[in-house]
Structure 1
Amino acid sequence: MRRARLSTIAIFAAATAASVTATPAAALERNPVIFVHGWNGSASNWNEMIADFKAAGYTDGELNAWNYNTAQSNKTTAEQLAAVVDDTLARTGASEVDIVTHSMGGLNSRCYLKFLSGTGEVDDWVSLAGPNHGTTSAHGCLDISCVEMRPGSDFLTTLNDGDESPGTTNYGTWWSTCDETIDPDDSTVVAGARNTQTGCITHLGFLTDDGVSQEVRAFVG
Structure 2
Amino acid sequence: MSHNQRNPVLLVHGLYNTVNKFNTMTNYLTNLGWSVHCFNLQPNNGDGHLDILAEQVNHYINNNFEPNQPLDLIGFSMGGIITRYYLQRLGGIDRVHRYISISAPNNGTLTAYALSRPGIKQMRPNSQFLQDLNKDIHETLSHLNVTIIWTPYDLMIFPAHSSKINLGTEIKLPVFSHEWMVRDTRLLNILSQSLSQPVTMVKKSLNTR
Same-fold status (TM-score > 0.5): yes
1:137 and 2:93 are equivalent in the alignment? no
* Corresponding residue for residue 66 of structure 1: 39
* Corresponding residue for residue 181 of structure 2: 206
1:95 and 2:69 are equivalent in the alignment? yes
* Corresponding residue for residue 107 of structure 1: 81
Aligned residue for 2:75, secondary structure, equals strand
Aligned partners of 1:94 and 1:50: how far apart in 2?
A: 24
Q: Which amino acid aligns with 2:11?
A: F
Q: Residue by residue, what CA displacement relative to the aligned partner does 1:1-28 show, whole Å, maximum 9, x if unpaired?
A: xxxxxxxxxxxxxxxxxxxxxxxxxx84
- Cα RMSD after superposing both structures: 1.6
Q: Is contact 2:75-2:82 (8 Å) kept?
A: no
Aligned partners of 1:128 and 1:196: how far apart in 2?
A: 10
Q: Is contact 1:165-1:192 (8 Å) kept?
A: no
Aligned partners of 1:219 and 1:201: how far apart in 2?
A: 22
Q: Residue by residue, what CA displacement relative to the aligned partner does 1:20-54 show, whole Å, maximum 9, x if unpaired?
A: xxxxxxx8441111100001111110000111112
Aligned partners of 1:87 and 1:49: how far apart in 2?
A: 23
* Corresponding residue for residue 33 of structure 2: 57
Q: Is contact 2:175-2:181 (8 Å) kept?
A: no
* Corresponding residue for residue 11 of structure 2: 35
Aligned residue for 2:111, secondary structure, equals helix
Once the two structures are TM-superposed, the CA of residue 164 in structure 1 deviates from its matched residue by: 3.7
Aligned partners of 2:139 and 2:168: how far apart in 1?
A: 7
Aligned partners of 1:204 and 1:84: how far apart in 2?
A: 25
Once the two structures are TM-superposed, the CA of residue 216 in structure 1 deviates from its matched residue by: 0.9
Aligned partners of 1:187 and 1:164: how far apart in 2?
A: 16
* Corresponding residue for residue 161 of structure 1: 135
* Corresponding residue for residue 18 of structure 1: none
For structure 2, the 5+ residue unaligned runs are: 197-209
Once the two structures are TM-superposed, the CA of residue 191 in structure 1 deviates from its matched residue by: 3.0
Once the two structures are TM-superposed, the CA of residue 215 in structure 1 deviates from its matched residue by: 0.3
What TM-score comes out, normalization by structure 1 length? 0.81
The alignment covers a number of residue pairs equal to 190
Q: Residue by residue, what CA displacement relative to the aligned partner does 1:60-112 show, whole Å, maximum 9, x if unpaired?
A: xx11122112231110011121121222322xx76211111110001111011
Residue range with higher mean Cα deviation, 40-49 or 186-195: 186-195
For structure 1, the 5+ residue unaligned runs are: 1-26
Residue range with higher mean Cα deviation, 156-165 or 142-151: 156-165
Once the two structures are TM-superposed, the CA of residue 141 in structure 1 deviates from its matched residue by: 2.0
What TM-score comes out, normalization by structure 2 length? 0.85
